Structure 1
Amino acid sequence: MAKVNRARSTSPPDGGWGWMIVAGCFLVTICTRAVTRCISIFFVDFQTYFSQDYAQTAWIHSIVDCVTMLCGLGFALCYSPAIAMVGKYFSRRKALAYGISMSGSGIGIFILAPVVQLLIEQFSWRGALLILGGFVLNLCVCGALMRPITLKDDQTTSEQNHVCRTETQGFQRASPSSTWTKEWVQTCLCGSLQQEYNFLLMSDFIVLAISVLFMAYGCSPLFVYMVPYALSIGVSHQQAAFLMSILGVIDIIGNITFGWLTDRRCLKNYQYICYLFAIGMDGLCYLCLPMLQSLPLLVPFACTFGYFDGAYVTLIPVVTAEIVGTTSLSSALGVVYFLHAVPYLVSPPIAGWLVDTTGSYTAAFLLCGFSMIFSSVLLGFARLVKKMRKTQLQFLAKESDPKLQLWTNGSVAYSVARELDQKDGESVAIAMLGSNPA
């Protein structure tokens, strides 16, 4: 195989081949997330053909989503690396780049929803799945666009790992059975892993991880039960597919416009808050859904939910990068999307069980809504506590020593009082020399 030329750059180029990476990620999201969400259109056909209840039929969709987020199998081999590559190529325009990339999911739903319904009517659900499988083969084209890039931080980490491997191999050749050599190898390996995954011990990332669990639980069931719910209140099959198309196209608008807005100077420092707001709004939409019993009422719901769904999906990589940095972004995103797996697996069957038990969708939708609202409130409360502690530390530092200035970087504080004292001493010494030229 031909050797891949690895582009080298000291910082993300924010353009150039990066836009081809965005285009590739855009196609990846169409072939993965859009196709997965269109399985909702097959729901009634699956339920009828296999003669199963809501809870049993929901496992089809939940297993697809779970495997994508949990393993290195199937769509996961394309989805997570494509998203991480966008983060490598963009810094200043990161939110906009992610907005365009993630909009593939909305565009895919907008186009595929009516097409899939037409394919089911013409070729049955089996033929429709075969045609979708052929479409998904375009992921091979997307992979050809992904050109590796080495940033300054990555190059430093790579050189440190290379030195570690070289020293380890030298010790193993000199004394392969030595206890000291084995301990050195273990220490080196542990150091590399700790450097790669040290973000797992950060309190901010732990809070983000917990909130992601609740957010993922709430967002998944709608794309499974949107069509069945619409059919249950008297909406036709074509109109139900039209609702999915609306959801998709507004999702695109949310991806791009919210990414562009949060890249503006006035909102650049409030991307975290915008992320919380978007999740909370989707939760409120869920709470209103049981009261919407006609197509004219479901259309505004699809617009609102679709917009904020696209908004917070765009900001997930941005918020993650803000917490862990660019160097660990790929690993951190892998963990974040991994955390989606269990909620994606259990939430549609739980919602289906609630529908089977209660005979309505109200309990299922309310549980999803409160779950997303709790996710937003949890992150907001954690950020508020962190800000209060930072303010308290600064106040205590000023009270204890007027010369003490507190510089913060995450949870670490640095004191520069000693440097100020040294500068004062140097000023006194210069003044004395000036007054005594002899």
Structure 2
Amino acid sequence: MPFGVLSTIRFKSSTKQDEGWAWVILIAATLNSFVALGSALGCGVYVSEVIQRWNSSKATGAFVGSLLFGMFSSSGPLTTVLVTRTSHRTAIIMGGLLSALGLVASANVPNIVGFYFTFGIMSGIGCGMIFLQSVMLVNLYFKRYRGIASGITIAGGGGGVLAMPLLERMLIEHFSWQPSLYIVAGMCLNTCVLGALMRPIHVKNIESKSSSLEADRDRVKEADSLTESETDENCYAREDDSLLKNRTYICYAVNNTLYGFGCTIPIILGPDLYAETGFTGARIDILIACFGAGNILGRLVGGVLCNIPALDRLALYVVLNILLGMFIGLYTLSDDFVLYAFASAGYGLIFGAFIVTQAVVTMDIVGRRKMEQAFSFAYFTCSLGIIIGAPLSGSLFDLTKSYKGPYLVAAIVVISSSAILIPSLLSGNGCVGRLRRQRLLAVSQIIIDPPTCSNGDAVRDTATSVKGNIENVMDVSVKETA
């Protein structure tokens, strides 16, 4: 269907969060995430095939995977423009068509340069459009259960990370790599059908109908959403409208670039590392499955952790960042299969939780009204590191004939990237600091009315004291930053 026709269609919209059509959106987005993220993170399977097909160096072959993953991450700005002119639904449908077309064309290109364009650029951008807008729409359709819903959606991608590489390896063994691309292209076309279910939503209409909490149990569930709404209206109004003047966000963007440099090395070069180590096809499948299974669990755990009101999500992000680098470093200790399996499962677990945390931390830093722009730009900065990281790692392998050097460099860069955010984490001023204090204040409000018990007065007095101390700190911070 031509773009002009898609842009003129008037789709039915929704105005309800956390209920009704929101659950249809969640299911469709989860399936889209399965196909899009599974196709992108499964690119390492085709890296080995490209190296063999055109007798390429490791650096040249690695650029195929890094280009696809980089385009996947950098598709945010393009998708944002498309969504502004049309809708999330149109962007997802266009992404499905583009990725399918790119995969079909990849099966017929005569050289690796053409493969860069069709597989790396076209398919990468298409899968990125599908995934990013599916996640974005879920965040708009859910408020109370946003963390859990985002975790479920991205866990669908974890399922794709587990299943798609294994499926692609099986298809390659039975039909060779070119016919396998036709089958994967058909799966990408199915995202167009799922995208047709993505009704637009008017968030402003919903937020104007907010109601007060009636019970302690409801207060606990709403505390996180409450602090986010207060922060959007009060905290972020004090900040400059430009993202480039938000110091915490600039540090976050630089962190994304460095993190992107090393985080995808095990994904893009992992299958080739396993083959170079001498593992058989069955053992390679097990190692890929370990990463995929850990990835699914990590995304669910990350969603649950991000939904805990009292948890400092920026601190969680920094801790996960450090752990991710440590698990990448484990690959350099030995060529033992058990160690590789442990490192793959741990890396998948932390990587999955980290990806979920990214979206929520972005909203904490910039607020809801600038979320889409900030999230897209953060993914773009991450893509810069991804595009550079894998080819440099491949070049280092060509020089040393070992993957230990590339993995060690990747681990050091990822761990170092977390240091950039530590000043923002320790700072009590700015939006992130005020958001942290608002969460503590919300938790203290929850326990001011404790259930009937023998020492209820003592608990209430303690909670009131805690609340007063937090309010005093918040007042001082506001005066300092005004």
TM-score, normalisation: structure 1 = 0.76
CA gap 1:408/1:244 in 2 versus in 1, 3 angstroms: farther
Of 373, 379, 385 in structure 2, the residue corresponding to residue 337 of structure 1 is: 379
Is the Cα–Cα contact under 8 Å of residues 235 and 294 in structure 1 kept in the other structure? no
Q: Determine whether 1:37 maps to 2:41.
A: yes
What is the rounded CA distance, in whole Å, between the counterparts of 2:179 and 2:477 in structure 1? 54
Deviation at 1:208, TM superposition (A): 0.8
CA gap 1:155/1:196 in 2 versus in 1, 3 angstroms: farther
Indicate the residue corresponding to 2:53 in structure 1: 49
Is the Cα–Cα contact under 8 Å of residues 14 and 21 in structure 2 kept in the other structure? no
Deviation at 1:80, TM superposition (A): 2.0
Q: For residues 295-325 of structure 1, give each alpha carbon's deviation from its aligned partner in whole angstroms, at most 9, with x where no partner exists.
A: 2221111111110000010111100011111
Unmatched 5+ residue regions in structure 2? 1-7, 79-124, 209-238, 435-470
Indicate the residue corresponding to 1:184 in structure 2: none
Q: Determine whether 1:277 maps to 2:319.
A: yes
The 4+ residue runs of structure 1 with deviation greater than 4 A are: 153-156, 386-391, 404-415
Indicate the residue corresponding to 1:6 in structure 2: 13
- Report the number of matched residues: 361
Q: Determine whether 1:293 maps to 2:335.
A: yes
Q: For residues 215-236 of structure 1, give each alpha carbon's deviation from its aligned partner in whole angstroms, at most 9, with x where no partner exists.
A: 1111111111111111122211
What is the rounded CA distance, in whole Å, between the counterparts of 2:381 and 2:136 in structure 1? 16
What is the rounded CA distance, in whole Å, between the counterparts of 2:273 and 2:476 in structure 1? 48
Q: Determine whether 1:63 maps to 2:105.
A: no
Indicate the residue corresponding to 1:253 in structure 2: 297
Identity %, equivalent residues: 22
Which entry has the higher C-alpha Rg, 1 or 2? Answer: 1
Is the Cα–Cα contact under 8 Å of residues 253 and 378 in structure 2 kept in the other structure? yes
Indicate the residue corresponding to 2:135 in structure 1: 83
Indicate the residue corresponding to 2:353 in structure 1: 311
CA gap 1:135/1:412 in 2 versus in 1, 3 angstroms: farther
Deviation at 1:238, TM superposition (A): 2.5
CA gap 1:366/1:127 in 2 versus in 1, 3 angstroms: same
Indicate the residue corresponding to 1:173 in structure 2: none
Is the Cα–Cα contact under 8 Å of residues 283 and 372 in structure 1 kept in the other structure? yes
Is the Cα–Cα contact under 8 Å of residues 407 and 413 in structure 1 kept in the other structure? no
Q: Determine whether 1:326 maps to 2:326.
A: no
Is the Cα–Cα contact under 8 Å of residues 317 and 333 in structure 1 kept in the other structure? yes
Is the Cα–Cα contact under 8 Å of residues 38 and 165 in structure 2 kept in the other structure? no
CA gap 1:246/1:137 in 2 versus in 1, 3 angstroms: same
Q: For residues 382-434 of structure 1, give each alpha carbon's deviation from its aligned partner in whole angstroms, at most 9, with x where no partner exists.
A: 3214459989xxxxxxxxxxxx967469977578xxxxxxxxxxxxxxxxxxx
Deviation at 1:68, TM superposition (A): 2.2
Indicate the residue corresponding to 1:384 in structure 2: 426
Of 238, 244, 248 in structure 1, the residue corresponding to residue 282 of structure 2 is: 238
Is the Cα–Cα contact under 8 Å of residues 84 and 329 in structure 1 kept in the other structure? no
Q: Determine whether 1:19 maps to 2:61.
A: no
TM-score, normalisation: structure 2 = 0.69
What is the rounded CA distance, in whole Å, between the counterparts of 2:167 and 2:473 in structure 1? 60
Q: For residues 99-122 of structure 1, give each alpha carbon's deviation from its aligned partner in whole angstroms, at most 9, with x where no partner exists.
A: 111112221122222221111111
What is the rounded CA distance, in whole Å, between the counterparts of 1:234 and 1:276 in structure 2? 35
Deviation at 1:79, TM superposition (A): 2.2
Deviation at 1:92, TM superposition (A): 2.6
Q: Determine whether 1:141 maps to 2:185.
A: no
CA gap 1:231/1:103 in 2 versus in 1, 3 angstroms: same
